[in-house]
A and B are shown apart, each in its own frame.
Chain A
Amino acid sequence: MPLAAELRHVSFGYGNGPLVLRDVDLAIRPAEFVAIAGPNGGGKTTLVRLILGLEEPTKGEASLFGERATRFTQRSRIGYLAQRAQLGVDAPVTVREVVSAGRVAATRLIGRATRSDRAIVAEAVERVGLSALVDRPIQRLSGGQQQRAFIAKALAAQPSLLVLDEPTTGVDVEAQEAFAALLDELHRHLDVTVLYASHEFGAVERFVERLVLVRGTIVFDGKPSDLPQLWHDPSHVHA
């Protein structure tokens, strides 16, 4: 079985600017739950964008499920929750509409959603515990509930790889803990590969099997329990 994602000797800089990442090697196996952590500006989001094929490496190769990432053809296998995911629209948008939007790529683009699509959307909403709020505008939900709705949107594509970039920014600590527990449950039940990028990895630390620390390059890759004590200090990570 091919790796879910792989970076081989990848370096990257935006335009003619300095390199943001240097000589990164990373292999994500199917069904792993991996946290990518590091200070702000350390290159986490860039690393995620390279994995997703949104950026072409300056040097090296990035691949998804054995294919070159920028030319990956099975994109509906990816569920993606972008950094500070939020709606930029003025109109009220129900939870059902948000989650249904995540189903579009996995099914036909033209015409109405099928009965099967509607059932998959309902299941995704139920998995994140929002069935009672499915027809409520997401703008009226709490930050934690909104994050759950966005996760359901990512799940509606029934992905093999779930990528979350700073998913809990602006969400209180209690909601972050609940969110991490939800991810752990989804990972175990759906057998999906989870890539969780955040400068605050405390909430997911007890659930992840592997922690990758990024600061211009990969400075640690292993079990969270093997991490030097210094990095468990949040003030260090934020520095």
Chain B
Amino acid sequence: MLELEFMRLALATGAVIGVLAPATGFFLVQRRLSLIGDGIGHVAFAGVALAYLADLPVIATALAVAVVGALAIEWLRASGTAAADQALAIVFYVGIAAGVVGVSLAGALDVQLFSFLFGSILTTTRTDFVTVALLGTAGLVIIALLYRALVAVTLDEEGARVAGVPVAALNVTTAVLAALTVAISMRIVGILLIAALMVLPVIAASRIAWSMRSTILIAMAIGLGSVLSGLTSAYYGDLPPGGTIVLVAAATVLVAALAGRVIRA
């Protein structure tokens, strides 16, 4: 398997995604915003359509459109213009509708589009890997530097606001990190499944961890393990990688829930 360049690229790119997705998702899950990744994924789909229509680089265009969508969700949520679930619903539907119309206009309803929706191990290029490595590392560095402040907002948003923590700026940062994660993950995991990789490892980790810090670290390890084992299974079983990765992550939730019961018994 490793003698094939496309597998080496897929595994290396997947490793970055496997670590970044749960690290970003951690702050969304703990704030009951788990579905934001899904909403941003739908917007990224509109970005893919725009890239096809205007002949632009796909990842960069999807990232730009996903960031706009993430900021729109955060603005709608924070301003109270629409309740959080309604804000997500608006972005969900506008994103997927714009994507379908755009892709159709570009005449791109083909196999390559399918790979963006559900992931593929064949399509990762060297350029993709370098882009994902650079952006993924930037995302992880931002999370590491702002970890204490992000935790303060996660634990008590109003208390943090009273104390003068720049809550709005940190919320925007979280939304942009989610958009970044979705955009760089769509080649491997797929737009429709990336949100699961942001959420499931965190749910699994919280069942067996003993602190917030241990939760995020265990979630990152589960994310990495899920991507690497999912890609390997997809290769040998000729399965779609996105679905396989997510099923592995879902299995860890089950195992962690059982392990958690044993630990606390």
| A contact set with B: CB distance below 8 Å | 52, 54, 74-76, 78-82, 85, 87-94, 97-98, 100-102, 104-106, 109-113, 135, 137, 153, 157, 163
Chain A residues with Cβ under 8 A from B30's Cβ? Answer: 88-91
> Are B151 and A111 touching (Cβ within 8 A)?
no
Known: A110-B146, A110-B149. A93 touches B155 (CB 8 A): yes
Chain A residues with Cβ under 8 A from B155's Cβ? Answer: 87, 89, 93, 97-98, 101
Chain A residues with Cβ under 8 A from B154's Cβ? Answer: 89
Chain A residues with Cβ under 8 A from B165's Cβ? Answer: 104-105, 109
Among the stretches B8-16, B42-50, B119-127, B207-215, the one at the interface with A is: B207-215
Which B148-168 residues have a C-beta within 8 angstroms of A?
148-149, 151-152, 154-156, 158-166
Show 15 residue pairs from A and B whose CB-CB distance is below 8 angstroms, ordered by the A residue. A75-B163, A88-B31, A88-B32, A89-B155, A91-B206, A93-B155, A93-B211, A97-B155, A100-B151, A102-B152, A105-B152, A106-B163, A112-B148, A153-B156, A157-B163
Chain B residues with Cβ under 8 A from A97's Cβ? Answer: 151, 155, 211-213
Chain B residues with Cβ under 8 A from A98's Cβ? Answer: 155
Which B82-122 residues have a C-beta within 8 angstroms of A?
none
> Are A109 and B148 touching (Cβ within 8 A)?
yes
Against A, the Cβ 8 Å flags (1 = close, 0 = not) of B125-151 are: 000000000000000000001101101
- The distance in angstroms between the C-alpha atoms of A91 and B205, with both chains bound, is 8
Chain A residues with Cβ under 8 A from B145's Cβ? Answer: 110-111
> Are A102 and B163 touching (Cβ within 8 A)?
yes
- The distance in angstroms between the C-alpha atoms of A74 and B163, with both chains bound, is 8
> Are A105 and B160 touching (Cβ within 8 A)?
yes
- The distance in angstroms between the C-alpha atoms of A86 and B213, with both chains bound, is 19
Chain A residues with Cβ under 8 A from B160's Cβ? Answer: 101, 104-105
| B contact set with A: CB distance below 8 Å | 26, 29-32, 145-146, 148-149, 151-152, 154-156, 158-166, 202-203, 205-206, 209-215
Give the interface SS of chain B, mostly helix, strand, loop or mixed.
helix
- The distance in angstroms between the C-alpha atoms of A82 and B165, with both chains bound, is 16
Known: A89-B155, A101-B155, A104-B152. A78 touches B211 (CB 8 A): no
- The distance in angstroms between the C-alpha atoms of A78 and B165, with both chains bound, is 12
> Are B162 and A54 touching (Cβ within 8 A)?
yes
CB-CB nearest in chain A for B155? A101
**Min CB distance, B210 to chain A, in Å?**
6
> Are B149 and A78 touching (Cβ within 8 A)?
no
Chain A residues with Cβ under 8 A from B26's Cβ? Answer: 91
Chain B residues with Cβ under 8 A from A94's Cβ? Answer: 210-212
Which one of B31, B149, B159, B210 lies within 8 Å of A92 (CB-CB)? B210
CB-CB nearest in chain B for A95? B211
> Are B156 and A109 touching (Cβ within 8 A)?
no
CB-CB nearest in chain B for A154? B159
Name 13 extra pairs, CB < 8 A, besides A89-B155, A94-B212, A104-B151: A54-B158, A78-B162, A88-B31, A90-B30, A97-B155, A100-B151, A101-B152, A105-B160, A105-B164, A113-B148, A135-B211, A153-B156, A163-B162
- The distance in angstroms between the C-alpha atoms of A66 and B210, with both chains bound, is 44
**Min CB distance, A74 to chain B, in Å?**
8
**Min CB distance, B261 to chain A, in Å?**
15
- The distance in angstroms between the C-alpha atoms of A163 and B146, with both chains bound, is 27
Chain B residues with Cβ under 8 A from A111's Cβ? Answer: 145
**Min CB distance, B215 to chain A, in Å?**
4
**Min CB distance, B161 to chain A, in Å?**
7
**What 3 pairs between A and B have smallest CB-CB spacing?**
A75-B164, A105-B163, A91-B215
> Are B156 and A101 touching (Cβ within 8 A)?
yes
- The distance in angstroms between the C-alpha atoms of A2 and B165, with both chains bound, is 24
